[in-house]
Amino acid sequence: MQNHTLINKIKSQNIVYDVIRDDQTVISQLLPVNYKIINDDFLINQLTKWRNESMRFFKSQFKSTSEGTKTWLTEKIVPANDRILFLVSSKGKVVGHFGLCNITDISAELDNAIRGEIGGPSDLFAFVEKTLLNISFTELNVEQVVAKVFSNNIFALQLHKNLGFQEKNRVPLKLIISENKKVYEECLRKDANVNFDYAELVISKSDYMEIHK
């Protein structure tokens, strides 16, 4: 697929994207996670810390370790040709990460949004998400972008809706607890055992271009 080739190019050539505010000020940069970055022990430790602090927002919840983070990046993120994770850098300081996954030539999904450190304006991640949408619709040329979040994550839901996403579906969830892990699995309504759902939101290329022209 054409987009899989482009994703590999972004990673291998370390293509950096500016995050630009509405007044055209550059407020941040997006740095693709590649093999060079995953050999930076400080960043690995930071990503591990952030994941543990934000674990409640993920469907799979466990105690993250630096070794596990490095393995995840090495085996699941960097070599994948259908996903890309960006570090969010503000004034030279990495303050979080945000990416895209399940990328085809037709669609993409927002992935792994974590703001781990103070830095940049309070609405930084709104412009980071807008930059990812610009990449999706202008460079990857997909027809739609999907976002999936817990329905009780009000901040994330509002962020997506402010950029033009429309909620399309909510799926009930069942929490399964094992010795070292919690997993929220999609299920029938009668089998749900938590009081929130998994919300799916979508924005089309045509809608995005009309809203943000």
What are 1-27's pLDDT values in tens digits? 688 999 999 999 999 999 999 889 999
Q: Give 9: exposed, middle or buried? Use CB within 10 Å, 0-12, 13-18, 19+.
A: exposed
Q: Where are the domains of the chain?
A: 2-211
Residue 45's CB: how many other CB atoms inside 10 A?
14
pLDDT at 48 over 90: yes
All residues at 6 or more sequence positions from 68 whose CB lies less than 8 Å from its CB, including other chains: 48
pLDDT number for residue 73: 96
Tell me the per-residue pLDDT of 98-118, one tens digit each, with 9 for 90 and over: 999 999 999 999 999 999 998
Quickly state the pLDDT bin for 36 (edges 50, 70, 90).
confident
All residues at 6 or more sequence positions from 124 whose CB lies less than 8 Å from its CB, including other chains: 19, 27, 28, 88, 90, 95, 115
Q: Give the rounded percent of residues in the chain with a pLDDT score beyond 90.
A: 90
The domain defined by 2-211 carries CATH number 3.90.1010.10: no
What average pLDDT does the structure give for the chain?
95
pLDDT at 90 over 90: yes
Quickly state the pLDDT bin for 69 (edges 50, 70, 90).
very high
| Section 85-89 average pLDDT | 97
pLDDT number for residue 120: 86
pLDDT number for residue 1: 67
pLDDT number for residue 23: 85
pLDDT at 182 over 90: yes
pLDDT number for residue 22: 86
| Section 170-191 average pLDDT | 96
pLDDT number for residue 119: 87
Tell me the per-residue pLDDT of 131-176, one tens digit each, with 9 for 90 and over: 999 999 999 999 999 999 999 999 999 999 999 999 999 999 999 9
